[in-house]
Amino acid sequence: MKTPIFNIHDLILVLTLAVCVLLVIFQWLLSKQKAIASQLLSGFFVCVGASALCNLLLWNDYIGLHSEVAKMVLSLGLVTAVVGKSVCLYLYVVAITRANFSLRAKDALHLLNLFTVVGWVLWGGLDSDRLRFQSASHTEYSIQLTNYLWHYLKILPVVYAFAAALEIYRYKQQLKQFYSSLSLQGPYWLLLLTLGFALNWFWSLVVHLLGQTVSFSIADSFGIFDNYITFVLVNALFVYSLLYAHQLLETKEKLKEKEVVAPAEISPDAIARIRNTMEKQQLYLKQNLNIEDFARQVGIHFREVSSIINKEFNTNFFEFVNEYRVNRAKQMLVDPQYAEMTILDILLESGFNSKSSFHRFFKRYTGMSAAEFRKQTSAAE
């Protein structure tokens, strides 16, 4: 950046740093999330703030660093912050979508990224001047090292952000294996925010690559946009953590060897028990029915129930239960006994707890809305 202290573009970095400090404090005071998720989100805010500070010090010509130690510390601070924000975002997403999540020994593998970039900086002597390609002692070899380091720092956040988005997608699919009623608003906004960071960091990567072919001033102008989007996304993620994160339903951990799994061949008796339990006991009328409650009534381990529903009924638990609910609603809509009931009353009586879910499923299975279905059947009579 080649502007006096501080122009509007520098100011957004200062504001990002200040906001991140405040968000960490608010996270400690206001968070309703589990402790590990709150700590990871705080770590993410710290790293984003540190990254903003390091970028401000690195690219502002009017904030000069004269000490060799300070220049090296700045370089190490920047690479650490980039790795930290990438890993913390990914682990935060995992923490709020999995039951009983805790950091394990295998998670330490993420530190390999940190050891890599720190070793890269120290071994190559890549201080802040060399990161800016302004060092008088730059050799062809050190320039190549610096280029590779920048490539790594730009690609790493993109990889982690898209990996986090993939985790959310899988999480949404897993929810449908365990719950008959659920709101996807929380997962939807989490996915949107994560993709926002992924695209923002991808844009930063594109600008970096453009910088190899266009002038520095042009690339710098494009890169400034990244700072504004980061500021918006950080604030949005904090708001999300307060409003939605603690409400997310959690999925189960992967099976351990000792846990019960579905047999290779499914017995007709197990299939009949699942169908009879649903139809005779009308468990689908329970709005918050989940697969564990249902499996207890069937008398089969819930993992086996899920596998049978997937293989024999060619659907998931969410779809399986809601098809019964739609059929119940259809019966009520054509029954004169329920003629005075509103559609809202009927959807609640048939086991739905969400109007959007009811209308979506009803139209899928009948090809029309509930109001049209009632009108059509009444006219036929």
Q: Please report, for the domain that includes residue 54, its CATH number.
A: 1.20.1070.10
274 found inside a domain: yes
Residue 201 placed within a domain: yes
CA 12 to each of CA 18, 19, 208: distance values in angstroms, whole numbers, following the listed order: 10, 10, 20
Helix (H) or strand (E) holding 171: helix 140-178
Q: Per residue in 174-184, pLDDT tens? A: 777 777 666 66
The pair of three-digit structure tokens given for residue 86, joined into one six-digit string: 């990438």
Q: Are residue 174 and residue 312 in the same domain, yes or no? A: no
Answer whether 0.85 is exceeded by the pTM.
no
3-state secondary structure of 290: strand
SS3 label, residue 45? helix
- Does 223 lie in the same domain as 274? no
CA torsion sign, 156 to 153 to 21 to 105?
positive
| 277 and 243 co-located in one domain | no
d(CA 68, CA 95): 40
pLDDT tens, position by position, 236-270: 888 887 776 665 665 655 444 344 444 556 778 88
78, 55 Cβ separation under 8 angstroms: yes
Residue 215's pLDDT is what?
60
- Kindly tell me if the per-residue pLDDT of 219 is higher than 70: no
Same domain, 42 and 125: yes
Task: Kindly give, in sequence order, each residue whose CB lies less than 8 Å from that of residue 357, ignoring residues fewer than 6 positions away.
Answer: 181, 322
Backbone φ, ψ for residue 291 (5° rounding) = -70, -25
**Cα–Cα distances in Å, from 109 out to 35, 45, 104, 105, 112?**
22, 21, 10, 8, 6
**Residue 274 belongs to domain spanning:** 268-380
- pLDDT of res. 2: 47
Is residue 253 a part of any domain in this protein? no
Return d(Cα 378, Cα 381) in angstroms, integer: 5
CA 260/CA 270 separation, integer angstroms: 15
Cα–Cα dist 342/279, whole Å? 24
Q: Tell me: do 173 and 98 sit in the same domain.
A: yes
Read off the DSSP letter of residue 179: B
Tokens of 300: 């089969």
Least confident of 32-46, 68-82, 83-97, 170-184: 170-184
Q: Is the pLDDT of residue 328 over 50?
A: yes
The answer to whether residue 102 sits within a structural domain is: yes
Mean pLDDT of 150-172: 93
Residue with tokens 């499996």: 295
Q: Is 217 found in the same domain as 330?
A: no
Kindly state the tokens that stand for 193. 């925010």
Tally of domains in the chain: 2
Same domain, 239 and 133: yes
Look at residue 98 and give its three-state secondary structure: strand
Q: Is residue 31 over pLDDT 80? A: no
Give me the pLDDT at residue 42, please: 93
| pLDDT level of residue 109 (50, 70, 90 thresholds) | very high
